Chains A and B, each alone.
Chain A
Amino acid sequence: MFSIVTYFSVEALLLLLVTALLYACLPQKLRRWVLLLASYIFFYSISGKLLAYLLFSTLSVHHIGLWLADVQNECAAQTKGLARDERKALNAVYQKKQRKIMGFACFIHIGLLVLLKYTPFFSENINTLLKLAGSSFKLQIPKYLIPIGISFYTLQAVAYLFDVYRKKIPADRNLMRLALFMSFFPQLMEGPICRYSDTAVALYDAPKMRYDNFVLGSQRILFGLMKKLVIADRLNLLIQNVYAEPNKYDGFIIALSAVGYTFQLYADFSGTMDLVIGAAQMFGITLPENFKRPFFSATISEFWKRWHITLGTWFKDYIFFPVSMSKPMKKLTTQARKKLGNHYGPLIAGAVSLFCVWICNGLWHGAGWNYIFFGMYHFALILGGNIAEPVVIKITQKLHINRASFPYRCIQIARTFILVCFGELFFRAEGLKSGIKMFCKIFTDFTFASLKSGSLFKCGMDRQDYIIIIVSAILLFVIGILQEKGIQIRNSIAKKNIAVQFAVYYALILFIIIFGAYGAGYVPLDPIYAGF
């Protein structure tokens, strides 16, 4: 059996190609089986027997969904024709029952995720506490094998159940449709985190493969390959050195590699998303976008609406609003609004919910203090931004600064980018301590000496490497601006005559082959988000 480590491997692309070929040749009824089979083969080739976890989650989601539906149907039948008061009372009884089921479901799914992913972290910290308290007792630190994509498919499963609970969608009786929804192989490893209403029906329908979809999909895959092979893997030359031994480098190089890492993370993750969404498009499946030019964001909260979008909306829909709309919070908001006014009133409830979101967001990325710090950092920035907003508006008005003007927006964008880079510095650092050290070094040990002496070009990346990175960054920048203006680049290329189309593809392919960081002397970057 072959094994896959990343989407960017010959094996994964081969699996995609074979699946696409079978998909194109077979009738509809078999096509969905092709997808499901390919998904399980894919999962098995990465995580082997841990496939059982996915199967368990799928069965459990199916069963609990139907359970909820039964309760809801029973409730509807019972309350039919009753007077309003009686209906309300009975509704409440059934509501309680459903809540218990949801509690049980969360316990199973989130519990499994927490057990596998966080027990080592928690038990380590408990041990530290015990030690501080002078106890000689020590918890055994368990080590679990974590099935690939569990952080992603668990969120999908929970979202599905909540949507059923909220009657947004009916429970699905069809086990296969749910199984496909949970396991569709392009998105299995790194998302996007899909909603049942987004993809399940389309996956089960397994639409006929269309030529234009195939072309557009492969275009996007190529573009993703470019981001990954040319940018992410090349930047790795510098980044792995600097983050492994930050003491050896001065503040300028650390600042440079912090920016470099942010760009690498973007290239790696959004490149993977291009590959994933492109692959799904080949099958005629539209997956939700995960990135919308995040570096054009004016504020941190806008950044999170453009970066890893599906995770952000998941947290918004299943944590932020449920918390802020809970009864005590609503009461708090109404009262606070009267006392503190329109801006600061809802901020209290908002802050509490935001805090929940960012603790979860930090932890979701991994069990470690630097991830929690990363979450809290963004929590503080977003909250701070909100608190300061009225003041900033007043100041700018006094100074007659037009907040909608282009220069003002540019300054905002630059500020947001710098803040994001600092956040990612802590995110990537080997532990929180190292992150703080690196952060301080940027300010205490900043010198351009390494640039002048040329020793900058001996930290892993040479002069030519930098040139290629800058050229690619400009390319992405231009494409980003065009997309911001609403131009659909891939479609407009596909509409051009065949010679132009060929030229574009050839140029892209040669660019990847020549400037890709592969072969002797390069170590490809492990997929960053698959580790979460």
Chain B
Amino acid sequence: MDERLLEILEDIQPEVDFETCTTLIDDHYLDSLSIISLVAELEEEFDITIPTVEIIPDNFNSAEKMWEMITRLSEED
């Protein structure tokens, strides 16, 4: 996993342990506003575009899932 991703996440929501948590969305650790901020940040940092279709709980429930999505999107491009 990428350090940059964890940094971004901690920046957005400092109270959560992102390395272990797998229910970020389901347990409301990340709300819609955090997602907006997160997506903007990720796009800038990793030079990808995250289409709306990717914005589903499954892709954001854990840092690992997010990393999977990021790698997939940067390969696709």
Q: Do chains A and B touch in the complex (CB under 8 A)?
A: yes
27 contacts between A and B (CB under 8 A): A163-B53, A166-B53, A301-B31, A305-B28, A316-B32, A321-B32, A321-B35, A321-B55, A324-B32, A324-B36, A325-B39, A325-B52, A330-B43, A333-B37, A334-B40, A337-B40, A337-B41, A342-B37, A343-B33, A346-B33, A346-B34, A346-B36, A346-B37, A347-B33, A350-B32, A350-B36, A353-B36
B12 shortest CB reach to chain A, Å: 5
Q: How far apart sit A337 and B40, CA to CA, in the bound complex (Å)?
A: 10
User: Is B73 close to A, CB under 8 A?
Assistant: no
The binding surface of chain B is classed by DSSP as helix
Within 8 A of A (CB), among B1-60: 11-12, 28, 31-37, 39-41, 43-44, 50-53, 55
Other 17 A-B pairs with CB < 8 A, given A325-B55, A345-B37: A84-B77, A166-B51, A168-B53, A301-B31, A305-B28, A317-B52, A325-B36, A325-B39, A325-B52, A330-B39, A330-B40, A330-B43, A333-B37, A334-B44, A350-B32, A350-B36, A353-B36
A379 shortest CB reach to chain B, Å: 13
For the complex of A and B, 10 pairs with smallest distance between CB atoms: A166-B53, A346-B37, A333-B40, A346-B36, A350-B33, A334-B40, A324-B36, A346-B33, A330-B40, A321-B55
Interface string of A123-142 (1 = CB under 8 A from B): 00000000000000000000
A residues in contact with B36, CB < 8 Å: 324-325, 329, 333, 346, 349-350, 353
A292 shortest CB reach to chain B, Å: 12
Q: Are B55 and A346 in contact (CB under 8 A)?
A: no
B residues in contact with A163, CB < 8 Å: 53
Q: Which of B11, B40, B43, B44 contacts A346 (CB 8 A)?
A: B40
B residues in contact with A302, CB < 8 Å: 28
Chain B interface residue count: which class?
20 to 34
Q: Which residue of A lies closest to B15 (CB)?
A: A393
A121 shortest CB reach to chain B, Å: 29
B residues in contact with A343, CB < 8 Å: 33
B residues in contact with A349, CB < 8 Å: 36
B residues in contact with A345, CB < 8 Å: 37
B residues in contact with A316, CB < 8 Å: 32
User: Is A320 close to B, CB under 8 A?
Assistant: yes
Interface string of A291-322 (1 = CB under 8 A from B): 00000000001100100000000001100111
Interface string of A496-518 (1 = CB under 8 A from B): 00000000000000000000000
How many pairs of A and B residues are in contact by the CB < 8 Å rule?
A: 56
Q: How far apart sit A128 and B36, CA to CA, in the bound complex (Å)?
A: 40
A residues in contact with B33, CB < 8 Å: 343, 346-347, 350, 386
Q: Are A325 and B50 in contact (CB under 8 A)?
A: yes
A428 shortest CB reach to chain B, Å: 28
**Contact surface of A with B, Cβ cutoff 8 Å:** 84, 163, 166-168, 301-302, 305, 316-317, 320-322, 324-325, 329-330, 333-334, 337, 342-343, 345-347, 349-350, 353, 386
Which of A317, A342, A347 is most buried by chain B, counting CB atoms within 10 A of its CB? A342
Q: How far apart sit A324 and B33, CA to CA, in the bound complex (Å)?
A: 9
Q: Are B40 and A342 in contact (CB under 8 A)?
A: no
B30 shortest CB reach to chain A, Å: 11
Q: Are B52 and A321 in contact (CB under 8 A)?
A: yes
Interface string of B59-77 (1 = CB under 8 A from A): 0000000000000000001
Q: How far apart sit A346 and B35, CA to CA, in the bound complex (Å)?
A: 9
Q: How far apart sit A353 and B35, CA to CA, in the bound complex (Å)?
A: 13
A residues in contact with B51, CB < 8 Å: 166
A315 shortest CB reach to chain B, Å: 11
B residues in contact with A350, CB < 8 Å: 32-33, 36
Q: How far apart sit A426 and B4, CA to CA, in the bound complex (Å)?
A: 48
Q: Are B55 and A337 in contact (CB under 8 A)?
A: no
Q: Which residue of B lies closest to A316 (CB)?
A: B32
Q: Which of B12, B31, B44, B50 contacts A342 (CB 8 A)?
A: B12
Q: Which residue of A lies closest to B39 (CB)?
A: A325
Q: How far apart sit A321 and B56, CA to CA, in the bound complex (Å)?
A: 10
Task: From known contacts A342-B12, A346-B36, A350-B32, infer whether A167 and B53 are also in contact, taking CB-CB under 8 Å.
Answer: yes
Q: Which of B12, B37, B44, B52 contacts A166 (CB 8 A)?
A: B52
Q: How far apart sit A86 and B34, CA to CA, in the bound complex (Å)?
A: 35
Q: How far apart sit A333 and B44, CA to CA, in the bound complex (Å)?
A: 11
A residues in contact with B41, CB < 8 Å: 334, 337
B residues in contact with A320, CB < 8 Å: 32
Q: Which residue of B lies closest to A327 (CB)?
A: B49
Q: Which residue of B lies closest to A324 (CB)?
A: B36
Q: How far apart sit A329 and B12, CA to CA, in the bound complex (Å)?
A: 18
Q: Which residue of B lies closest to A347 (CB)?
A: B33
Q: How far apart sit A167 and B41, CA to CA, in the bound complex (Å)?
A: 24
B residues in contact with A84, CB < 8 Å: 77
Q: Which residue of A lies closest to B57 (CB)?
A: A313
B residues in contact with A301, CB < 8 Å: 31
A285 shortest CB reach to chain B, Å: 22
Q: Which residue of B lies closest to A350 (CB)?
A: B33
Q: Are B37 and A322 in contact (CB under 8 A)?
A: no
Task: From known contacts A325-B50, A333-B36, infer whether A342 and B11 are also in contact, taking CB-CB under 8 Å.
Answer: yes
Q: How far apart sit A324 and B40, CA to CA, in the bound complex (Å)?
A: 10
A residues in contact with B12, CB < 8 Å: 342
Q: How far apart sit A347 and B12, CA to CA, in the bound complex (Å)?
A: 13
B11 shortest CB reach to chain A, Å: 6
Q: How far apart sit A316 and B32, CA to CA, in the bound complex (Å)?
A: 9
A residues in contact with B40, CB < 8 Å: 330, 333-334, 337, 346
A residues in contact with B44, CB < 8 Å: 334
B residues in contact with A353, CB < 8 Å: 36
Q: Which residue of A lies closest to B54 (CB)?
A: A166
